[in-house]
Each structure stands twice: as structure tokens, then as C-alpha cells.
Amino acid sequence: MVFSSGVFLFAFLPCLLILYYCVKALSVRNYILLAASLLFYAWGEPLFIFIMSAAIVINWLIALLMTSHKKLWLIIAVCLDLSLLGVFKYASFIAANLGRELNIALPIGISFFTFQMMSYIFDVYYGKSKAQKNLLYVALYISFFPQLIAGPIVRYNRIEGEISERNENFNNFPDGVRRFIYGLGKKVLLANFLAVIADNIFTYIINPSVMMSWLGAIAYTLQIYFDFSGYSDMAIGLGLMFGFHFEENFNYPYIASSVTDFWHRWHISLSTWFRDYVYIPLGGSRVSKARHILNIFTVWLLTGIWHGANWTFILWGLIYFIVLLIEKETRIIAHMKIFSHVWTLLIIILAWVIFRSESVSQGINYISGMFGMNSNAFYDGGFIFYIKGSWIVLIAALIGCLPFMGKMIARVKWLEVSWLALVLAISLCEIISSSYNPFIYFNF
């Protein structure tokens, strides 16, 4: 089940809200949310619900056993959680590289809920939270449906208080609805349309022209932002509807003035997770220069691997390692001033091409085409056709990457209400009348 589906919008969410607010006792409300979350996940993955449930119970038990031999139990928990990822996400990839065939179905969102389980274990180990005796609380934290399958990655120490004691009120609820509608519009009206352009150019057009190649790369750059940030907006909005406050996951990343700045704005919950649970425990920058470089390399290698079982994701992570190291060591961006945004966007777009490609060779070939190295035309009739049919959405998407429009609309209450009503109405009509694409990050 996805947030932009008719089943979720017209059945699951309304029924859950009615049932939830008809009950006064918080403990009962938590049981309702847990049952709804398990149903939400089991809707398309009925067998994998047992795997996730077993993993939750095991991590809960290990946290309780951390009263003694903490480091040993931490190692056991991390090994078990990484094994879960290894078997379901990477075993087929490893087998293929060894010349063997192995097909294992990938549970949706396994990287997200596995990292949340590890976050709970780490927080208990470092003393940021006490081991939770109530299995319900841990199960609800890990399986809570708004952030279960595509994030944001929520830290246990930042949400445990709201599981046991929270105040749902009429200030949070309208804010949640508002945030959800914005996210829905991003997904249905922008990301889905951009996906058609990107998929057609990347998949079906052989030897596209230079301009067509750039159009496909830019379309995917915009698609993945509106797809993922739209999901995060909907997750944050749903959390608010039920009294939970999730931290921001995106902060207009495409206005970044450096690649370092970009990763302070993009998928914030993931980058801070690696910072707090990998980079800092390894010593961070408080070590020798060689060790510091190794720490950065480790983080970005793991970041690439986390995203998927393909050499393209590993290369994508290593590209950012190299670029970030150059920025850090040379301070070149500090001297570029006006060109810093151009440099940053160029790196981001080229990296997304590698990320989107089916193989490294395809990605390199596509980038070669973007710079006219494949003896392809500068532009062709297909490029003109796509521009004529999509220029309005492309302009809207480019404007949507900037913060000024949202701030301007939010200043005038009646204008924002009217805008939200329009976005919701058009989004619902689009959902009813056409098919939708699943969220990109469901694959991770």
C-alpha cells in the first residue's frame, strides 16, 4: 500500500483516523496504530510481515539483555540486523557476481526499518535511551506506517516520549493535513509526470541527442527529489495527525552552494544516521589525516551499498566520497563563489545518472552522450516534442525546488487554503483517472 493510492486515501486513512480518535485511552490508540501499521505493510507483503516482526522481537530482547556484556550484545544485534539486509538485499547480487543465480524477493523498505532497529540498539548501548520493557512501544516505533517503508529514519530517543505520552490537538492535525497534501501534490502531479520523461529517455531511446540526454538527466534529478521529499512530507504530515513529530528530511537541497551543503539538505535522516552511528564512532575527524580519509571513505561506501545491490550505487557513493574529499581538502568551493551552485548541480546531476542507470557502463555511456561524445546530434525532433509537452511541469518543478514560493503562499492564509484545495482536488482526480508509480525509495 502506498500513500498515493486510492485504497490508502479513501479507505485505510479515513477508517484509521475515525477509529483512532473515537478511542480516548493512549494505550488502546497505540495498539490501533500498531495493528494498522502491520496491516499496511502486510497489504502487499503478507509473508514479510513475519520476518519484520521476528526481527523486532529479537532486537527488543537483545536491548533488555544489555544490562551486562553490552558490547557483546551490540555486536550480536548489529550482525543479525546486517545479516537480514545481507540475505534479502545483497545475496542475489553477490551470487550474480560469482556466476551463480539466486533470486530472493526484496522486502519493501527493509533498509529503513533495519536502520531503525539498529538505531534503537545503538541508543540503548550509548545510554541515550533505556531498554524498553514494553514490546508494544518498540514494535510501534519500528513498524509505524508513515515512516516504515521509505523513511524518514526516525531515532528512537527522539520519539520514545511521544509513544508513551503525547498530546494530539487541533493545531497538529491541520498542520499534518497541510503537509500531507503538499507531499501528495509533489508525488502525483510532479514526480509521476517527470518519471515518464526520465524512464522513456533512459530506457527506450537509443543514442539520444545531447539535449535529449540532458533532459532525461534533469527530469530524473527532479523526479527523485519530488518523489522522495513528497513521501517524506506525507510521512511527517501523517505523523502530526497522530501526535508524532518527525524531523525534517529535506531542506531544498538543489539550492546548495556545495556538495557538502547538499548532503546537509538531502535525506538528512540518513546522513545524520551515518554520522552518529558510523563516522563518529570510527573517530570522525579527531584522528590522523589518513584515518580521517578512511572514515569518510567507509561512510560513503556504506551509503552507496545501503541504497542497493548494484555497482552503480557503490560508484555513486564513491563519487561523493571523492568530491567531498576534494572540497574538504582544497577548499575549492570557497573560492568559486558564483560558480559554486553550477558546480554543485553538475556533480549532483551526473551522480544521479549513475544512480539511475542499470549498469556502470550504461551510466558512463549516457554521460558521454550528454557531452556529445557518442557522435549523436545536438538536438532532434524528439527533444522538441518532449519540451512542448512538458514545459509547464518542468518550470513548476524548477520553481518547486526553491523556497520562496512556499513561503510566499504561506504568508496569506486564504491563498494557502485555496492552493491546498486545488492541489488536493487535482491530485485526487489524477489518482482516480490514471495509474501511479511506486515511490523510488521503496526499493531501498
Residues assigned a catalytic role: 307
Question: Is the CB of residue 66 less than 8 Å from the CB of residue 124?
Answer: yes
Instruction: Check residue 249 and report its DSSP letter.
Output: -
**Residue type (1 letter), 227:** D
Q: How many CB atoms lie within 10 A of CB 157?
A: 17
Q: Residue 188's closest CA among 152, 219, 231?
A: 231
**Cα–Cα distances in Å, from 274 out to 119, 157, 263?**
10, 16, 12
- Long-range contacts (CB closer than 8 Å, 24 or more residues apart) made by 166-173: 166/26, 166/243, 166/244, 167/243, 168/21, 168/241, 168/242, 168/243, 169/243, 172/240, 172/241, 172/243, 173/240, 173/241
Element containing residue 223 per DSSP (H, E): helix 210-241
Q: How many Cα atoms sit within 13 Å of 169 on the Cβ side? A: 4
Q: How far apart are CA 31 and CA 163, in angstroms?
A: 11
C-alpha cell at 39: 496491516
Q: How many CB atoms lie within 10 A of CB 78?
A: 17
Question: Is the CB of residue 129 less than 8 Å from the CB of residue 120?
Answer: yes
Q: How far apart are CA 200 and CA 206, in angstroms?
A: 10
Q: Residue 358's closest CA among 289, 393, 311?
A: 311
Element containing residue 397 per DSSP (H, E): helix 381-400
- Core vs surface per residue 296-315: b (16+ CB within 10 A) or e: beebbeebbbbbbbbbbbbb
Q: Residue 177's closest CA among 368, 353, 13, 324?
A: 13
Cα three-residue angle 222-225-231, rounded to 5 degrees: 135
C-alpha cell at 77: 544485534
**Residue type (1 letter), 392:** I
